[in-house]
Amino acid sequence: MLAQLFASPTLVDLLSILFLHPKKEYHINELARLTGRFPRSVHLALRRLEDLELVKVRREGNLKQVCANQDNPIYPELKSIIYKTVGLGDALREALENLGVIERAFIYGSVAKGTESLASDIDLMIIGRVNLDELTERLSAVEQRLNREVNYVVFSPEEWLVRLESGDSFALDVESGEKIELLGG
């Protein structure tokens, strides 16, 4: 979807990496290695992103250090789209496929609020009935792929409803807070 929107798979790959780790700085060769693209293609795509003010560039000797420009007014919306399509969203949705009956799954916490740091984990809520051993195995693979820890909580739909109705502070905070919906919702 984003490749069609941006008409460049290299741009999509770069945005995915930069927006998944918005506080981390990368150099061109590192981005070329991570995306599997030629350094020249990465350089041209980064120039486009810099022209759009979607990335910040800092020179360190002969190297250019690049990171997401979190000050850009469209940063939050673009980040949300990336998370839902090529970033976290796709990786987590794929991991949740055929695990059981999932009524709802979403990211909450600092990532959903847009306040995450380099060390922030991804908080994942799953409401449904899933195979926990398989879930753990699949999310471990996602953690390695994204280089981010995923902390998940699983509730049956009945348990979640009881917690909400009984005024459980955790459930109420999560339900009323920012979320990135992955399934259901």
Residue 2 has a pLDDT of 53
- CB 17, CB 26: distance < 8 Å: yes
Note down pLDDT in tens along the chain; length 185 residues: 455 456 788 888 899 889 888 889 999 999 999 888 999 999 999 999 999 999 999 998 888 899 999 999 999 888 878 876 666 777 898 899 888 899 999 999 988 887 877 778 899 999 999 999 999 999 998 888 777 899 999 999 999 999 999 999 999 999 999 998 898 86
Beta-carbon contacts of 182 under 8 Å, excluding residues fewer than 6 positions away, are 84, 89, 92, 93, 96, 105, 106, 107
Give the pLDDT confidence score for residue 158 in this predicted structure: 98
pLDDT of residue 185: 67
pLDDT of residue 81: 81
| pLDDT for the residue numbered 89 | 78
Question: Please, what are the domains in the chain?
Answer: 2-75 (1.10.10.10), 88-183 (3.30.460.10)
Query: Do the beta carbons of residue 92 and residue 142 sit within 8 Å?
Result: yes
CA-based nearest residue to 103, from 132, 128, 136: 128
| Residue 185 near residue 108 (C-beta atoms within 8 A) | no
Q: Which amino acid is at 138?
A: R
Question: What's the pLDDT at 86?
Answer: 67
Query: How confident is the model at residue 29, as a pLDDT?
Result: 93
Please tell me the predicted confidence (pLDDT) of residue 47: 93
CA pair distance 179, 158, nearest whole angstrom: 20
Measured from the Cβ of residue 185, the count of other Cβ atoms closer than 10 Å reads: 11
Q: What is the dihedral of CA 96, 86, 27, 78, to 10 degrees?
A: -120
What confidence score (pLDDT) does residue 72 get?
A: 94
Task: Write down the pLDDT at residue 1.
Answer: 45
